[in-house]
Structure formats: structure tokens, C-alpha cells
Amino acid sequence: MPQVTHLLPHKKTKSTFLVPTYYKHFQCKGGSCRNTCCAGWTVTIPMNQYHYLLGLNVKKTLRDRLDRTFQPIQQPTKERYAQIHHNYEGNCPLLMKNGWCMLHTECGESVLPMVCRYYPRGPRLDFVPESSMANSCERTLELLFADTNPLQFEFVDLTFDMPMEPCKANQEEQRKYEQIRKSCFQILSNRSVSLPTRISRVGQFMIALDQGLSDGNPTELLDSFTIVKDISLTYQVVSKISEWFIEHSKTIHDWCVDANSFYQEHDIEEKYLQNLTHFETIVPDHKIFFEKMIINNLFFRQFPYQHPNHSFYDEFVSLCGKYIFCRYMAISIMRRHQTIEAFIDILAKTFRVISHTQFDKNIVILLNQQQMTEYHLLQTLLQA
């Protein structure tokens, strides 16, 4: 390994973080990863990291690759200064044939841009120290689905070689945040009722928070509503959402086209039930997997504080949209597949869009456009 001079001083962040219990078992799959994060992603790095890489003393072969990899963007900022310029295969030029990164292999982990070094981890200090794992990484999902136990959390001491803004929330804001999150996860982990019912109860809790009827502890949640299941309506709504992603997302464009074309003709309910039967045969524990996946994503996104301009109810609408869209993609695309690995691949790619774009904001807009954000209408959408 060549001698590397650290031109970029690393400011460390040390704290005791709340993490999922599987967090300590994560290890990058490297060359065995089916959906590498080194392909297809528009990754940007800040100005100081770009100039640091520009000044690295490395072999000529690596220098040539580095110079082709990161290029300044138009109208750059200090935070978004350069981005990866993919090769003709859509891969990062540093990706080697064995699936590993040339920069990492020759110089070590410490020289990697922070986004490459820490993905899929998501450390946060906004309210309390937390670090999560993104569902867009297939290894995260494999760890989540390794057992059927409810998702648990623990405190661990972690150090990140990067500066992080200290928590600005006061003690009362921190207390409320922790209590709301704890309550939501308890509701979603209650397997005595169906997952759609649990999501609905989170909606009741969000309504109470908006109305000032709760300080973070949910009042008694009653399932007094009449549940109506309308598969045709649900799939008409989700196919409209899918049309938007056909126009705006290269990542899941082909899958959205495939799913929508399959349901375009008549007999939507018959086709859905046929797909569902196949899906449940391949993924018999899918209800538990969706539960754990949703909770993991909500932890990653700091639910219900994802967007400062959203009401608590808006966050609930976003949660419903996330669930029905994931179900739509999984059940539709799995008709062509026979393995749990395919299920994981579908979800990981779908969460590239959900976790790393403005999906949470856009899905609320898209459901609003179809006038499908009323509580009783969302109950219908959740049942399919």
C-alpha cells in the first residue's frame, strides 16, 4: 500500500448512538454484492474532499482513474462540489472487475469520500445521537430478514471521522421526539393485529399529535372504522404514482413500466390475487419483513420529523404511500422471480428512490393530486 499523506484533517465525532441491534454485524459484501452502490448512483462530494483526492500521492494507474472519476458540477457549492462521472457501463470508474474499489484497495478506507466510506450508515445528531442503515443496501435487508424477531435497538459508542453539527434540540424536544418514536415503533411491532391496522393506528396517533391531544404518549387507539378492501382502486392509484416515477426515475423506470403494463388490461383483481399467491409462496414471512423494513426506514428517516414543513398527518400519508408502493413493486415484479434474493433486490432498488430522494415529499403530493389522503381512503389503500 502506498504512503498516503492526509491533506484533509478529519474531525472526529464521538458519542453514544442508538442503533439497530443488527448494526454491529454489518460488513460490506464487496464483490459478492448483486446491487453494488458503485453503479448507477449520482454521488456528490464536498469541495474539501475533492481537493483532498486531487492531491493524493498515488500510483499513475490510480491517479488516471481518480482524475476521471470526480468532476466538478455546474454551479457547485462547498457541500456539493463534484460528482462521480460514470463510465459507459454506468459504473464508478474506480470499481474493479472483482467488485471492489481501486481507491479503497490501494490506499485504505480512510481516504474514501465520506459518502462512500460510511454508506449505508446514516449517523444523525439532530435530536439525539442515532445511526441507522439504509434499506437501499441489500446487506441491510439481509440482516433485517435473517430472523423474524421484532426489530430491537441498543446504545453503542461510535466514532465517525467527520464533523457533525451538534444537537440543537432542547431537552423537552428531545424527550418528545424519543417518546413519539418509541410509541410509533411499539404500535408497528404489535403483531396481535394486521400490519395495515398498525399503520392505521399510527395515523390516529399522528392526528392526535396535530390536534395537541397527545404529548408523545398515544391515547387509546380504537379500530372503530369500517375497513373496505378495493383492490382495483388501490392499483389504479398506485399505477398513477408509478407513472410519475416512469418519467422521473431511471432506477425503477423499467419495473414501473412492467408493472403498469401488466395491470393495464381488465381483471386487475384476478391478476393481483394470482401474483399475491405466488409472492406469498416465495416469501411466506413477507408480513414480518415489511414490518421490520418499515420500522428500519422510519428510524433512518427520523419519522415523524422528516420534513420541517410537514404536519404529523402528512408524515402518516407518506408512510402509507411508502407501504403501498413497496407492496405494488414487490408483488408485481416477483411474478417473474422465484427466490428471496430477488425480493431483496426489488426492495433495495426501490429504496434507492425512497431513501435517497424527495420520495416522502413527492408521495404526499401525488396522493393529494388523486384526492386520496383522507383517513378512510388511506385505510382502503392499505388493505391490498
Instruction: Quick: pLDDT tens for 33-83.
Output: 998 888 888 889 999 999 999 889 999 999 999 999 999 999 999 989 999
Rounded to whole angstroms, the Cα distance separating 206 from 228 reads 21
Q: What share of the chain is helix, strand, coil (3-state, %, to 5)?
A: 55, 10, 40
- Provide long-range contacts, Cβ within 8 A and 24+ apart, for 93-99: 93/65, 93/68, 93/69, 94/38, 94/65, 94/66, 94/69, 95/36, 95/38, 95/39, 98/30, 98/31, 99/30, 99/31, 99/32, 99/33, 99/36
Q: Calculate helix-pair angle for 312-333, 231-248, nearest 10 degrees.
A: 90
Query: For 92-134, how does the pLDDT look when each residue is reduced to its tens digit (9 = 90+)?
Result: 999 999 999 999 999 998 899 999 999 999 999 989 999 999 9
Instruction: Over range 357-364, report the average pLDDT.
Output: 92
Full strand arrangement of the beta sheet holding 70-72: 44-45, 82-84, 70-72
- CA distances to 45, 61, 109, 171 from 57, in Å: 19, 12, 15, 47
Q: What is the pLDDT of residue 5?
A: 42
pLDDT classification of 3: cutoffs 50, 70, 90: very low
Q: What is the pLDDT of residue 365?
A: 96
Rounded to whole angstroms, the Cα distance separating 28 from 308 reads 33
Higher-confidence residue of 261 and 145: namely 145
Res 25 pLDDT > 50: yes
Q: What is the pLDDT of residue 255?
A: 93
B/e letters for 295-323, b = 16+ CB within 10 Å, e = fewer, are: bbbbbbbbbbbbeeebebbbbbbbbbbbb
Name the percent of the chain lying above pLDDT 90. 72
Instruction: Over range 178-198, report the average pLDDT.
Output: 95
Query: For 142-179, how does the pLDDT look when each residue is reduced to its tens digit (9 = 90+)?
Result: 999 999 999 999 999 999 987 777 778 899 999 999 99
CB 348 within 8 Å of CB 293: no
Q: What is the pLDDT of residue 49?
A: 92
Residues in CB range of 372: below 8 A, 6 or more apart:
237, 378, 381
Res 266 pLDDT > 90: no
Res 220 pLDDT > 70: no
Cell reading at 24: 454491529
Instruction: Over range 254-283, report the average pLDDT.
Output: 90
Q: What is the pLDDT of residue 263?
A: 83
Instruction: Over range 338-359, report the average pLDDT.
Output: 94
Task: Reduce the DSSP state of residue 123 to 3 states and report it.
Answer: strand
